[in-house]
Amino acid sequence: MMPLARKRQISLVDTPYYHCVSRCVRRAFLCGEDKLTGKSFEHRRQWVEDRLLFLSTVFAIDVCAYAIMSNHTHVVLHVNLDQAKSLSDKEVCSRWHKLHKGTLLTQQFVREGKILSEAEQLTVNTTLSIYRQRLTDISWFMRELNEPIARQANKEDNCTGHFWEGRFKSQALLDEHALAACMVYVDLNPLRANIAKTPETSNHTSIKRRIHNLKKGYQPKTLMSFIGNPRQNQPEGLTFNLIDYIALVDLSGRSYDLEKRGTIALGESPILQRLSVDEQRWLAISSSFETTFSVAAGQTNTLRQFKRRYRQKAQSG
């Protein structure tokens, strides 16, 4: 298939779920320790995690999973169009002002007691329409994540130039199978890289945050919630049970090493049973998600439909 522009790779008609990866271009690590100089950049992991979770409170984009690695980051995102549509104009304006100053008119618009003229209000309405669209734009989300980190890292390194690759990589997650496999793949990145032994000790990952919060009896507000299996009149959220998902991550991590296979067969996982996923196929996909799929991931039928539309877009472009 011919490569598409980012705006065409991200098609909300096909799916609201996307796996995005950003990689550093310089020898200097995003975080971790530089073996040549001995300098540690470990603190930068917290920069990225804090920024990512802050953005989840600004954009109408939910964070499903993330892992901050030594020279790259993984995020699984969900574009929440319904939330964006439900925001009032003032809420849209206030959210965008958390990132940028906006215009003089948008600043006046959110100021209590300030009355705009008809012409001024029309201008503000046009601007707010742009802001509302940006709040559901993954490219804007990734820009607002990466650019401040690059500036902060360049300042610390006392240098200029590119910190990240020019474009982040994105994969469309077309169905529940792809979403679950990708989330597990992301959550287990530190285990595969041998920088953590268990999911609950894998620093700067969504799985550690979920487990930590579960011990306190709640789900993190800055991550998309698990709501259980699909049902009528269900709220917005991930259609898996949180306990089942954590168990699946743990079993999958142990099953990568056959000598450390868990006593419970991976195929007995309630999630895999509901999704009718073969154990060996699950291990193959969840351990090498990026190399198994290119711009989209899903079952054969959903992937075939996506590729057909993908080719049509490429030919029309």
102 and 202 in a single domain? The answer is no
In a domain, 130, yes or no: yes
Same domain, 108 and 44: no
In this structure, what token pair is assigned to residue 27? 């020898």
Find tokens 């610390």 and name the residue.
Answer: 156
Asked if the structure places residue 14 within a domain, the reply is no
pLDDT tens string 163-212? 777 788 999 999 999 999 999 999 999 998 888 888 999 999 999 999 99
Does 128 lie in the same domain as 163? Answer: no
- DSSP state, 61? E
Residues 103 and 76 in one domain: no
What's the pLDDT score for residue 241?
A: 92
Residues 302 and 204 in one domain: yes
How high is the pLDDT of residue 58? 98
Residue 264 and residue 295 in one domain: yes
Claim to verify: residue 25 and residue 164 sit in the same structural domain: yes
Quote the tokens at residue 251: 């079993």
Share of residues in the chain with pLDDT > 70 (%)? 87
Q: What is the reported pLDDT for 307?
A: 80
Out of 121, 149, 170, pick the residue that ends a domain.
170
Instruction: Determine contact, residues 177/298, Cβ cutoff 8 Å.
Output: yes
Residue 9 lies in a domain: no
Mean pLDDT of 92-113: 93
Look at residue 284 and tell me whether its pLDDT is greater than 50.
Answer: yes
Residues above pLDDT 90, as percent of the chain: 52
Strands (E), 69-175: 72-79, 169-173
- Closest listed residue to residue 255, CA positions, set 284, 289, 276: 284
Quick one: pLDDT band at residue 162, thresholds 50, 70, 90?
A: confident
> Which pLDDT score, from 0 to 100, does residue 36 have?
66
Q: Say if residue 102 is in the same domain as residue 185.
A: no
When mean pLDDT is compared across 48-52, 72-76, 109-113, 204-208, the lowest value belongs to 109-113
213 and 290 co-located in one domain = yes
166 and 36 together in one domain: yes
Residues 269, 248: contact at Cβ < 8 Å? Answer: yes
What residue has token string 């743990």? 250
Cα distance between residue 193 and residue 239, in whole Å: 28
Residue 142: what pLDDT?
A: 95
Residue 309 pLDDT greater than 60, yes or no: yes
- pTM summary value: 0.88
pLDDT digits (tens, 9 = 90+) for 232-281: 777 889 999 999 999 999 988 887 664 554 444 676 788 888 888 888 88
34 pLDDT above the threshold of 70: no
Flag whether 212 is in a domain. yes
- Measure the CA angle with vertex 99, ends 93 and 100; round to 5°: 75
pLDDT of residue 115: 87
* CB environment 262-301: b (16+ within 10 A), e (fewer): eeeebeebebbebbebebeebbebbbebeeebebbbbeee
Among candidate residues 116, 149, 170, the one where a domain is terminated = 170
9 token code pair: 């790779």
* Residue from 73, 76, 68, 71 nearest 204 by CA: 68
- Is residue 2 predicted with pLDDT exceeding 60? no
Number of structural domains the chain divides into? 3
Q: Is residue 13 part of a domain?
A: no
Q: Over range 205-223, report the average pLDDT.
A: 95
What's the maximum distance between 2 C-alpha atoms anywhere in the chain? 72
- Look at residue 97 and tell me if it is in a domain: yes
Residue 11 lies in a domain: no
Residues 6+ apart with CB under 8 A from 74: 19, 20, 21, 65, 66, 67, 186, 189
At 53, which CATH number?
3.30.70.1290
Which of residues 121, 153, 170 is at a domain's end?
Answer: 170
Question: Residue 188: what pLDDT?
Answer: 94
Write down the pLDDT at residue 66: 98
Does one domain contain both 98 and 77? no
Question: In terms of domains, do 124 and 244 share one?
Answer: no
Q: What is the mean pLDDT of residues 3-20?
A: 74
The pLDDT value recorded for residue 312 is: 66
| Residue ranges making up the domain that contains 148 | 20-84+138-170
Residue 314: per-residue pLDDT: 62
Residues 191, 193, 198: CA angle, nearest 5 degrees: 15
Residue 287 covered by a domain: yes
pLDDT score recorded for residue 287: 87
Say if residue 123 is exposed, middle or buried (CB neighbours under 10 Å; 0-12, 13-18, 19+). Answer: middle
Q: How far apart are CA 295 and CA 21, in angstroms?
A: 12
